[in-house]
Structure 1
Amino acid sequence: MMAGLTAMMAIVSGCGGVGTPGDGMPDFVRGDLQRTYFDGKTNDLLTGGLGSAGLANATPPAFADPANPTAAELRTRAIHANYRALVDMTPGGGYGSLYGPAVGIGGAGLIAGHEYIALADGGRRHGIASWTQEWGGERVTLMVQVPDGFAMGQACIVTAPSSGSRGVYGAIATAGEWGLKRGCAVAYTDKGTGMGVHDLDRDTVNLITGERVSASAQPDRVNFRADLSEPERAAFAAAFPHRLAWKHAHSRDNPESHWGQDVLNSIELAFAVLNRYHAAPNGRKYTPENTVVIASSVSNGGGASLRAAEEDRGNLIDGVAVSEPNVQPRFDPSFAIRQGDGPPVRDHSRPLLDYITLVNLYEPCAALSIADAPLNTAASAGRCEALARAGLLKASTTVAQAVEARAAINAHGILPEQNFLQPAYNTFFVPQSIAVTYASAYARAGVEKNLCGYGFAYQENGVPAPLSEVDAANLFAVGNGIPPTGKVVLINNDAPGGPREDRSSTPDQNMAGALCLRALATGTDPVSGNPLTGEAAERRRRVEEGIAAVQATGNPRGKPVVIVQGRADGIIPPNHAARPYYALALKAGKRGGDVRYYEVTNATHLDAFNAFPGFDTRYVPLHAYYFQALDLMWDHLVNGAPLPPSQVVHTAPRGPGEGTGMGAPPIGPANLPPIRQDASADSLIKFDGATLSIPE
């Protein structure tokens, strides 16, 4: 197994909190701070000892004992899984030339340094007297990586909150790679999501380092445990056997409501670690005044860093550089968004649960409207028929119903540029899983609530079954925080004949569940249009409170901000996230800071899909522009360079190879024009206070 298993490890006790960055552990750190050194030869910070080639290998690193992997083995496999989930790992798509561990530093890309992991206590913010009495609340994993090359030049910290619902290594390939290569300390957090899984049959849970233990063991190191008493757990397991409680969905916490604070806490921990274990030779303390701090990351992590800037009353952050952020700006009716000569979009800034439940409802039918879409294996004529029977579609043929369903999605401010991707995302359960997870989180509903009839479990022949010890042990490493993942799927508890896997549970792919989720998002019955009543209305009230708690102001408190966004993003629509956030920041004036927005054509949300045939010819890696954004922010903060104006970057798809039959040719500079200081006038994004104008 990896020689890194012998890496030096020390356990350091936490101590009293401090008000300003110093060498004392902040008071939100619970239990011990785990400290591990990686020598950069046998194991390392960035690649888990695998190196660039090992990460590119699709076969995950093995466990010596598959049912009992060590923390070190789990870490290496988690890094492998998270890297491959976030970027296109094919050389033709840019891995090894535009990005990847070895790019810019040579060799295998191994980086030596220290790694520190701690569990944060949310009780301080909620007034919980004893943390061990509140199992369901904020259990947030924090991690700081300090490369051996730290502070060889300008001392710096880069934040890396995880993307999606991933665990603490969920931004290793993005902010982690850029920051470690720059010689910065990297401050990670799982944001209260991540891979905390409670097996309610066996009553086992994950530690923050991934190992499976009894749910009653080591409370200061348990990543998540369902907030159920022993009689409650036993009763639920008897009524709903083989179910699993999931940290993001079932913590009763609404983790997203404190993502900004989690990022700020990760920065505070980074300063404490640097000052305690990496003090400068002259004894100088690292402070916000002498350390460049960039809040960064992608997707949910990018949204978390924007929220951190808005909440940063202590001026910890110097600048923000994010990609495709899941940020939910408050709706401001005073402006519209217009792309090219298209109609103005006034109903922008819809909450995530609104647009994702709409896509979840209509996309299984709409997927039939794009005949050449790759990975389109879950299109459903049954969903089309059910939508028509409910009066939600008017057409009488399946083909016409699919076209009508697609039109309903685009009428919701979701760009046509995303249409080609949506069938593949539907195949991979993306809208379904997001809708279930976020509805549960916003409602602060525990696993026992079975919100809208959904549960999480392994399945055999469509029926819930025990998750094997081997698969349970692997979840921390390979899971993405939402099902289906690691052989865990969504279960329709209300299926005719008994619970079974959701999509296969009814001919219409459980449209009843999709309608229930849609009702929670809007407050009205999707079929009748009537307001919800009774218990459904109470659930909606809780969801509405949860959504209100996560909305962003658009005011980053004067900090410079760079946002890059793919126009073809099929998960976070530009009209409901990055575009209106940028307009709000401009409206904030000087309080908004020096804010820039770069929209990239032919770029999507999940670069990893670019490795598949059919996507490789159409899309370019947004990841390359994310790294440009970080470079621009660094040059702005350190060297005073002006940020280029907001603009649309018109890329060139790779297209099909000529006569090779092997798909797209390798990507090159012609495909990826840079963000330009001298951008042409017809590519500039403009805002006059009433209309945000996005060039075609």
Structure 2
Amino acid sequence: MRDLDIVQGEVRLTAHREHDDLLSAGLGLAGLRGAPAAFADAQRPSAQELRRRAIQTSWKGIADLGPLGGYGTVYGAVAHVPGVEYHAFAKLSGAHAPHRVLLQVPDNFDHAHRCLVVTASSGSRGIYGAIALAGAWGLPRGCAVAYTDKGAGTGYFDFSDDSGVGLSGERAQRGAALLEFEPPASHGEGIAIKHAHSGDNPEADWGRHVLQAARFGLAMLDRAFPGQAPFTPQNTRIIATGLSNGGGAVLQAAGIDDQRMLAGVVALEPNVYTPGRGRALYDYATEAAIWLPCALTDARFAAVPFARDVHGQAPAAWTARGASLRERGQLSASTPPAQAAQAYERLRGAGWTDQAMATAALSVAFDLWRTLGAAYASAYLRRGAHEMPGGYRYAGTLADGKPGVADAATRAGWWADASGIPPGNGVGLFGQTDGSIDPQLAGCEQLRSLWTGDDAQARTLRASVAAVAVGLPRENLPLWVLHGADDGLLPTTFSSEPYVAWLGEHGRKPLYWKLPHAQHFDAFLALPGFGDRHLPLLPYGYAALDRLWAHLYAERPWPADLPTPAGTPRGAGPLQRGMLGLD
């Protein structure tokens, strides 16, 4: 069978019909919204139980399934889609760790319009991390859907019992099975994360991961339908789509697609770094970790969700940040309001908009900037779990918040429940705090110095970041970038806008929607007060994919330009179709 030279070990085939389908594992929309899918034995969940909960977790992590969000009524649907899945570990030449690949083949595969959707997980999520986008759109339409975790994922390795995750999602000991991630043997405790600790700088290979997943998908379609083989890019349209890191991955794939595999690309809120312009995620994430807490205490952000407590006060740690920066000589103002104003102006001068800063209050409140900085620094420097930059480390979180060994039930659920980068799900990020009033600043400054410094470590990190820069897609490739104007995690001014401008300067003609009132996390729109101000991004992604389908299969002309929908914020009530501006 062609292309199986990329596969390590077996290809696992499973059927999913009746009460266990491809799109929701039998949960349906109501079940996806509900309590976590149960494990009969919390310490030893079955492969089927883990899969069901992984699918549920992935849906909840990406889509707004809240009662006001409109999913399933205003846009989107969770159809019952029976079919089969092919799971495998694939490996790039020269890589230390594999990436997990998956093909879902619906029973209603459309043989008249042979279609393969290829996608990559958002963030650092596991293999189902793009199911709410690619699966929800492609599977009911009769497309097969190929997924990759792009060298990240939730196959955490725990040194305390020397266990990782096998192909089925169940935990196994080192040497007992082929594992999703198996770091070198080490004495002691701690937890290793594939994205941070594989030694591969996986982000530089996201495009290769996507194209390899597409090749795996074609090979598995040969296996599923041998009478119609071979499936090739010439007789099967390959549509690439992804969001966030997954969006960046499909744009990377478009930039290296020398064999013209991809028929079209739809990228939502992509983490894309354009050579010579824009800013890399590590650059503005480490900047945000230091300066945003102080800037957000400015009065202009007083009404922003997550920027104030129920009493209208900014978090004490954010106010302390201004004093700490003044002590270090980085701010000259002596009062908290003046310090906030100086921090705000500094960020404005670095390209941050008021919209991005306001929405980024959520990321500050959830400590996402420091979390991203620690993990990405380790990946860029190719460090192991016990040698992370700045003395950071991952370990189980005990009931008192201190590091320790995770219990068996927590460990067993990581593959289904975790996001791919701790903290969360009983795993904490520890180290680099002190007893000062601002205990995290020193660690954040160390992470920042890896970008701004000139020592060997900083030069190595910047070289690794340079390797993630995107390449030019081929001329006339249908390509659509959609990004929320209010994105506070991957601001458009640093990511999509420089990319789209660069394409235009080189004769490419992408479609670009900078969508009013949309931000980065659809799933957080269900939080009280937050969704009132914003619109979901997924319905626009579905609409773009619909238009691409019409172009590829119904010969509808690909537009040279398309006006951006003028949506209106949802407000305190439920989402209405007219608010999206799509009709």
- What is the TM-score when the length of structure 2 is the normalising length? 0.95
Q: CA deviation at 1:462?
A: 3.6
1:33 has 2:11 as partner: yes
- Partner residue, 1:17: none
Map 1:649-668 onto structure 2 (within 5 A): 649-655=565-571, 664-668=572-576
Q: Deviations over 1:566-595 (max 9, x none)?
A: 010111111111111111111221xx3x41
User: How well do the aligned residues superpose, as a CA RMSD in angstroms?
Assistant: 1.7
Q: CA deviation at 1:647?
A: 3.9
Map 1:128-527 onto structure 2 (within 5 A): 137-218=96-177, 221-226=178-183, 228-229=184-185, 233-234=186-187, 237=188, 242-280=189-227, 283=228, 285-331=230-276, 348-369=277-298, 370-376=301-307, 379-460=317-398, 461-492=400-431, 494-496=432-434, 506-523=436-453
State the secondary structure of the residue aligned to 1:602: coil
State the secondary structure of the residue aligned to 2:145: strand
Inter-partner Cα distance in structure 2 for 1:267 and 1:63? 33
Q: Which moves more between the two structures, 249-258 or 636-645? A: 636-645
State the secondary structure of the residue aligned to 1:160: strand
1:551 has 2:469 as partner: yes
Quick one: structure 1 residues 392 and 209, their matched pair in 2 at CA, closer, same or farther if it must change by over 3 Å? farther
Inter-partner Cα distance in structure 1 for 2:159 and 2:436? 26
Map 1:1-20 onto structure 2 (within 5 A): none
Q: CA deviation at 1:403?
A: 2.8
Q: Percent identity?
A: 37
1:638 has 2:553 as partner: yes
Inter-partner Cα distance in structure 1 for 2:264 and 2:388? 41
- Partner residue, 1:609: 524
- 1:247 alignment partner AA: K
Computing the radius of gyration from Cα coordinates, the structure with the larger value is: 1
State the secondary structure of the residue aligned to 2:295: helix
Q: Deviations over 1:457-496 (max 9, x none)?
A: 223334211111111111111111111121212101x445
Q: Deviations over 1:354-403 (max 9, x none)?
A: 11110011122223222223234655222221111112222211222223
Q: CA deviation at 1:166?
A: 0.3
- 2:451 alignment partner AA: A
- Partner residue, 1:42: 19
Contact 1:113 1:145 (8 Å CA) reproduced: yes
State the secondary structure of the residue aligned to 1:635: helix
1:672 has 2:580 as partner: yes
State the secondary structure of the residue aligned to 1:111: coil
Quick one: structure 1 residues 37 and 99, their matched pair in 2 at CA, closer, same or farther if it must change by over 3 Å? farther
- 2:516 alignment partner AA: T
1:560 has 2:530 as partner: no
Contact 2:403 2:428 (8 Å CA) reproduced: no
Inter-partner Cα distance in structure 1 for 2:238 and 2:272? 20
Q: 2:543 aligns with which of 628, 631, 634?
A: 628
State the secondary structure of the residue aligned to 2:351: coil
Contact 2:254 2:472 (8 Å CA) reproduced: no
Inter-partner Cα distance in structure 2 for 1:506 and 1:295? 48
- Partner residue, 1:18: none
Q: CA deviation at 1:111?
A: 0.6
- 1:401 alignment partner AA: Q
Inter-partner Cα distance in structure 1 for 2:72 and 2:464? 42
Inter-partner Cα distance in structure 2 for 1:450 and 1:606? 28
State the secondary structure of the residue aligned to 2:395: strand
Contact 1:198 1:244 (8 Å CA) reproduced: yes
Contact 2:74 2:575 (8 Å CA) reproduced: no
Contact 1:429 1:484 (8 Å CA) reproduced: no
- 1:543 alignment partner AA: L
Q: CA deviation at 1:97?
A: 1.5
Q: CA deviation at 1:138?
A: 2.9
Q: CA deviation at 1:557?
A: 4.9
State the secondary structure of the residue aligned to 2:5: coil
- Partner residue, 2:312: none
Unpaired runs of at least 5, structure 1: 1-22, 103-108, 129-136, 332-347, 497-504, 524-531, 656-663, 676-696
State the secondary structure of the residue aligned to 2:493: helix
Contact 1:360 1:431 (8 Å CA) reproduced: yes
Q: 1:117 aligns with which of 74, 87, 95?
A: 87
- Partner residue, 1:692: none
Contact 2:156 2:193 (8 Å CA) reproduced: yes
Q: CA deviation at 1:92?
A: 2.1
- 1:454 alignment partner AA: Y
Inter-partner Cα distance in structure 2 for 1:37 and 1:483? 32
Q: Deviations over 1:180-229 (max 9, x none)?
A: 011101010000000121112221111233211112221xx301122x34
- Partner residue, 1:105: none
Inter-partner Cα distance in structure 1 for 2:74 and 2:216? 31
Q: Deviations over 1:412-447 (max 9, x none)?
A: 212211222222211112111111111111111111
Contact 1:555 1:584 (8 Å CA) reproduced: no
Contact 1:563 1:629 (8 Å CA) reproduced: no
Inter-partner Cα distance in structure 2 for 1:407 and 1:614? 27
Q: CA deviation at 1:73?
A: 0.7
Q: Deviations over 1:127-177 (max 9, x none)?
A: x8xxxxxxxx13100000000111243110111210000010100111111
Contact 2:120 2:242 (8 Å CA) reproduced: yes
- 2:281 alignment partner AA: L
- 2:206 alignment partner AA: W
- Partner residue, 1:93: 69
- Higher RCO (C-alpha under 8 Å, 6+ residues apart): 2
Q: CA deviation at 1:518?
A: 0.7
Contact 2:394 2:430 (8 Å CA) reproduced: yes
Q: Deviations over 1:86-121 (max 9, x none)?
A: 01102421211234443xxxxxx2210010000012
Contact 2:100 2:151 (8 Å CA) reproduced: yes
Contact 2:483 2:515 (8 Å CA) reproduced: yes
Inter-partner Cα distance in structure 1 for 2:234 and 2:175? 43
Q: CA deviation at 1:278?
A: 1.8
- Partner residue, 1:13: none
State the secondary structure of the residue aligned to 1:349: coil
State the secondary structure of the residue aligned to 1:421: helix
Contact 1:553 1:584 (8 Å CA) reproduced: no
Inter-partner Cα distance in structure 1 for 2:411 and 2:360? 30
State the secondary structure of the residue aligned to 2:532: coil
Inter-partner Cα distance in structure 1 for 2:192 and 2:218? 34
